[in-house]
Structure 1
Amino acid sequence: MTTLSLDTTRDGELLRLATAGSVDDGKSTLVGRLLYDSKSVLADQLEAVESASRARGYGQADLALLTDGLRAEREQGITIDVAYRYFATGNRRFILADTPGHVQYTRNMVTGASTAHLAVILVDARHGVVTQTRRHTAVAALLRTPHVVLAVNKMDLVGFAEDRFAEIDDEFRRLAGSLGVPDVRSIPLSALRGDNVVDPSTEMPWYTGPTFLQHLERVDLDEDLTALPARLPVQYVLPDGSLAGQLVAGQLRLGQQVLVTPAGRPAVVTAIGRLGTPIENARAGMSISVKLDGAGEVGRGDMIVAADRIPTTSRQVTATLCHVAERRLGEGTRVLVQHQTRVVEATVASIVDRLDLATLEHTPNSDPLVVNDIATVVLDLDEPIAADPYRLIRGTGSLLLIDPADGATLSAGLVGPAFR
């Protein structure tokens, strides 16, 4: 999965969000309006958009062009790739992934939402919840995205009707509830006009909630990763023997009893460093170095874990895969499995079933996976890995399947079956 990384050690500073919606729901326009009205657009960017809009014969700037950067997108008027945008306000920094709406690009939403704190799902107020809405909501639920915003766009085309918004809101909440989405906020807006995007709309006095930007600035990001068991994948062995990596979950402290997996060797933390400075405690999100006593030889691909709450170490893993490659993936295929910093050879032992994102039904089917398929598979690994169920720890519950011939990513995987 594609990820962007910034220093997130100060709580609540950075919000990662992904947008999704059907074609023509106005997703790129919403993102463009958000950037424009929050004054996050450089002068030369705006000038280029205005020039391109005039060339198309538009009377005003087409703000969707701020995100539809590929030439093919501009010519076709659609979004076909994940466009990452960084912007900031006085209250928070943001990384926004604008993902495609076409069904054949479902894989791109998986990429964009894989590290998101919040998913924005757009619907056209005229059409309401459609099949693609269900599909995108299911992907957000599958990836355990903590927060979802239902952006009911084009309210100006339904006369800013409160009853229409309430109808869509009710249907969506029933869908989200059936999928186990923990937090939903519905916002009526018009991206083209700017209603309720950054500034409150005067056309919808019946809506008293926050604007879209206000909600993004206020949403609670206190996902307490420090309450999880400690997980430190070893990325480097430093010249002094220290083990360096990013603590993806939990906390480490001097004197703590740990295990080095997958071997399961016990050890004690004798030193912790951050940016060259000794510290006594480390918490999730920090990039640190540690020294251990009693661990024996430790290298890249090992993982340091809390001794009292250990992951499952196994040479067989059941995983939910989203197949992202054009090439097929069948039973018996040899692959590389990348789990954090560890890479092992493996075989696709069996394809158990497929998930229909429109109906959320699991259908037994052992045919080779094709692009955008989401399926439950069993992987036989040549060497063990220590992994947690994705539903418990996202960081150590995700993996990639890689083609050993050319290094191409084949599938993004979540440890454990989906929605069960």
Structure 2
Amino acid sequence: AILPGAATDDRRVVGAYVRDWAFGMPGDTAVQHAPYRGGLRLAYIGPPSLGVGVGGPFGTTVQGAASVAFTDLLGDHFLGVAMQASGTVRDIGGQVLYINSARRWTWGVNLERAAYLYGYGSINQNSIDYVLAHIAVTGASFLTQYARSQSSRIELSAGYQRYSYALERTSLTGSVTGGAVPLDAPSPLGLGTASIAYVADDASMGYTSPFAGTRFRLEASPTIGSLNYQSYLADFRRYTYLRPFTLAVRGIHYGRYGHDSDSDRIGSIFLGDPTLVRGYAYDTFDASECAPDAGGSLGSSSCPQFDRLLGSRVGVLNAELRIPLLGSRGLGIIETVFPPLEIAPFIDAGVAWTGSSAPVWSLDANTADRTPVVSTGVTSRLNLFGFAVLEIYHAWPRMRPGRGGVWGFTLQPGW
């Protein structure tokens, strides 16, 4: 037989603690009071990288990057430092960012130098000429933001950027490489910038993309100096939760307006970027798709099918039906311990234009006009153990006659 255990009165123990609440607590003399000093401490070190290249059009180069971040105990102060090398000594860049968020008005200072190295080659009768372009962007900016609520804020910034250029040519004759010869380069650009933005975000984030709520951003940014223009951005996103599915829609307009908005010294906006309209990435085009036509709004373009994707102003519409195939309870149709997976049929549409070349509202794929482009397809997003979100999509570009489906991938959460 099993005898019952001795009866205990737990209430007696609890009652003793209630009557003597200080029992077991350290005495007054055991605690030392000291004022808080918010000194910066190392928060993390970014994974460093280092590489060396020898030969080829770029010659001997060194590539690498490293970053560190410091913060205080309460997170009121942040200091980030980064360095990057992408060629020779002149191609070294770096950034220093400080942010003070101790008050409702958050402010920060950013100093940076970004260096870019580009190259191309041409074949002559007796030699191969390589031209290298060194571009350095040096700038400083001040930024601040005011939180109106937990889901909205006002952002302000002002800064200055200087673009400098250096060109050089190297000739390869047989196995002999000549020395670098400097070439005439474009004059530097000095640009003063400012911006004001109103931002709201009450969206709920899932494992791979938002699944409920609203996001929008309205921003105006004038630029003065060597070039004068104004940039405007309107970005609206709505996520309707249809448990367990999500209907996501997005509308974007970004454009440069003003005297120098179409200057060839500013890079064009590319509508075929996979984050805008999928199925039109630049590396999926070939010469067989080009049908020159001087009668359209693109003028004497040698490839209007590609050039209609470039402009100083773009408008984009996207829609997805997000299906959380794998996930946890409430955020997945199939509960599993495997990485969360989302499937989403989508439709993307967009149009690009300039101040001198307006869009033509037609879905004729065989015209040389600035017509809208449309694609449909299916995308999948996989959460890589919280490290990143891998998106793999298959898109059918409707404005590319004779072109089948296009595969692509990105490493970022869904919009």
Give the alignment's TM-score, normalised by structure 1. 0.25
Compare CA radii of gyration and give the structure with the larger one: 2
User: By percentage of residues, which structure has more strand?
Assistant: 2
- More RCO (CA 8 Å, sep 6+): 1
